Structure 1
């Protein structure tokens, strides 16, 4: 397998560095001696304290420079590129969340479309070795064919969030074609783990339990046709990104898209039971959620399931962390972070 390993002599610009994936990727690169420039607007879409905790963990690294700002600010992005001359750019800054895009469309256009356009323009005028950017499994919409493959038709998004991510792929392809920017899009599948996003279901379930509230499950209480999700542990996501960083696409149009998912979808109810068991173990007492079943929400899809053949072919990697192992690490961190041990 001929793929190039990470080059610590390069400068890596990571947008969304205070975010879940951005933090873990920054930390991994810093541990290997890379220079990392992190940008984040530290918005309050979810608990800002968690973002500050992540940034606090990155600050001791002498190779880390943090810039508080928004990628939709074109002047800031241009100045950052001119000053730091990054070799590799990883754009993880985005307004996340499918359901929130129904209530608050403006921020998605601002961050995910205008912000990404600014990154592309900056790469156009300050050439980089590789632009890696976050897409999403949501581009597959309500595709019935599983597993989802990168070659599948993705022109029927069911949320504005998904539309913005599909737009990013089209924009990157165009800039790659016109200005020879080597670019790779990553379709992430339900990322979870310690220090994750509190707006994600597993984190919300834990929050509800400790607040003494029932959890809402949006599957109509239909256990036969339960929602399936390809839950992907954070370390697997970071490993996949890291392996791709020094391996830009080649060919006439230097643009490629990869799935990064676990390739083994789990029923939502199985995931919930596993989380109950993990929290029980972390606390040393039995945890059982009170459950309320509701209809599936607009913009949600019944199943996500990634084919990871392309990723394996390119960089010899396939995510393999089981939900038992991943959720235990989350539960142990959660109980410790919120100081919940009696």
Structure 2
């Protein structure tokens, strides 16, 4: 039975994708290094149920380690690579750009090269809305200029899209690049805004707001993202880029109000200077994904925050 290889499969988005694919009977191989960017215990909890499934296989290692990855490709017949592993986050990338280039750049090229050598039919790459940088062209369309990233993280994501295209052009590798827009929901990484703010408000601590709170994001619920990723796995393309977002924007102060309402606790806001690498807005034009992938997000921010807070109260408070 051919397998779907998911890098970063013990993380937030990856573990949800694992659950979805196992539920439909797929054989899933996960590569994850369980690094300390956040507590590895969280990742182990994310795949707790998957580990009980005979169709689930875990390979622990670093995507920068070519011999390790080569052993994985030799061990399993792979029909699709879904590459989600990365050093994530705009602000940490400003502090350690070399690490981001090594993990995101070298790691991605390793996977593309092995997909070529082992003749993997499809490669799905998890990119980011950050590739658009500063732009007045909103909502963001896939054919917009994306050659002026404003953080090392964004630069690595865009560079990887271009490397994917090079492998498609030179070797015929079929690639889909998915630009994710601020994904949230159960299992969200603890340093991301919604999870971080929820915990700090719950504990009666100050929450840091960079700028005046007017920045806007296209927050996308995890179930909607997974719908788009699965569609990209199932459909056949040569090389395509798709936005996966909710296609609605919420300013930061409104987001905080929604968290307050669902937690039943007030926020203590500490306003701080605007941070380098941040952008004032992200906003996805999803008309292409709707037309070609059948992508159809269903969870507005009000419902998504309600679901997230419910999960946090039940499962995340003590993590």
Same fold (TM over 0.5): yes
Q: CA deviation at 1:166?
A: 0.4
**2:231 match:** 243
Query: What do you get for the CA RMSD once the two structures are aligned?
Result: 1.2
Q: Which runs of 4+ in 1 moved over 4 A?
A: none
Cα separation, 1, equivalents of 2:273 and 2:297: 31
State the number of aligned residues.
Answer: 318
Aligned twin of 2:99: 107
* 1:323 CA drift (Å): 1.0
Deviations 1:271-324 (Å, cap 9, x if unpaired)? 1111111222xxxxxx11111112211000000000001101112222131111
Aligned twin of 2:314: 336
Q: CA deviation at 1:218?
A: 1.1
> Quick check: 1:184–1:248 contact (8 Å CA) kept in 2?
no
Instruction: Give me the TM-score of the superposition, normalised by structure 1.
Output: 0.91
**1:48 maps to what in 2?**
40
Shift of 1:210: 3.2
Residue 265 of structure 1 corresponds to which residue in structure 2?
249
How far apart, in 2, do the equivalents of 1:73 and 1:307 lie?
36
Q: 1:292 to 1:171 in 2, by over 3 A?
A: same
Asked if 2 retains the 8 angstrom alpha-carbon contact of 1:258 and 1:311, the reply is: yes
Is the 2:2–2:76 contact (alpha carbons within 8 Å) kept by the matching residues of 1?
no
Gaps of 5+ in 1: 1-8, 281-286
Aligned residue in 2 for 1:284 = none
SS at match of 2:123: strand
**2:160 counterpart (153, 165, 168):** 168
1:6 matched residue in structure 2 = none
Q: Is the 1:149–1:259 Cα contact (8 Å) retained in structure 2?
A: yes
Q: Are 1:159 and 1:299, in contact at CA under 8 Å, matched by a contact in 2?
A: yes
Structure 2 equivalent of residue 302 of structure 1: 280
Deviation for aligned residue 1:339: 5.2
Q: Can you give the 5+ residue segments of structure 2 that lack an aligned partner in the other structure?
A: none
SS at match of 1:212: coil
Distance 1:187 1:339, change over 3 A: closer
Corresponding residue for 2:259?
Answer: 275
